[in-house]
Amino acid sequence: MKSAALVLWASLLFTYGAAAQSAGPNTGSSESEGTVVSSSEVRFAPANQAAPTTFAVAEPEMIPAPGPGLPAGGAAALPGNAFPGVHQPVYGVLQDLNFQIYGGFTYLRFYELPGITGNLAGLNTSLVYYPRAGHWGADGEFAVGFASQNGSTTTLGMGMGGGRFRLAAARGFEVWAHALAGGAHFVPKTPYGSETAFAFEAGGGADWSPRGGPIAFRAQGDVLGTYFFGTHQYGPKISVGVVYKF
């Protein structure tokens, strides 16, 4: 009985010593990949420390994959106006309209005879037909001007036909030039000669369509030549008005 008690006591003593060695004091250092870190250098973050800030990273720009109507290389290979909704002005393109009818105000300085000059104001009309809405067209014009001279009303009327050439320009403008020939009629009758004469006209102008529609505003300048009373008359003729295209 005594021997059993001694054996039990020795066993308890041995178990206590082993437990004391395994739970012995910390040596104050630890090894990690050859670096010794002292226990005094260990820092713990406070429990109330804010979480680190998260930075948003922009997603890379998506480039469309090649497909119908989209060349290889995606958007970088497309011109600036290849996407719907992106408007760029188009220059040098004529409207697909064949006829132009014009009406407006005209002013004419008429050198009737040496020492006799008339300033006539009146109306100017024209009709132009462009086959296939091209650059060249057939031009017909009628103009009439009035002035007061020696207590009576002087009237000069002209009817001519010829050709016209046009070009489209930027910002809704269309520039053109024409040359016409025909006849003129002058009243009242004078003792100097016939009331009718040969007439011609050469010049040009510009039409401006601010909205690109069928309505345009015109300004033109010409030189009018006539042959009344055995002599030539050359004078400036200007006109401003409205054009309707159809």
Q: Which tens digits make up the pLDDT trace of 46-83?
A: 555 555 544 444 555 555 555 555 555 544 445 545 55
Query: Whole-angstrom Cα distance, residue 148 to residue 222?
Result: 23
Q: Residue for token digits 């060249």?
A: 136
Enumerate residues 6+ apart whose C-beta is below 8 A from 199: 158, 160, 181, 182, 183, 184, 224, 225, 226, 227
Intervals of the chain under pLDDT 50:
1-2, 5-9, 12-13, 15-42, 44-45, 53-57, 74-77, 80, 86-87, 89
| Cα separation, 5 vs 1, whole angstroms | 6
The CATH number that domain 99-245 falls under is 2.40.160.20
Distance from CA of residue 217 to its chain's centroid?
20
Domain edges within the chain: 99-245
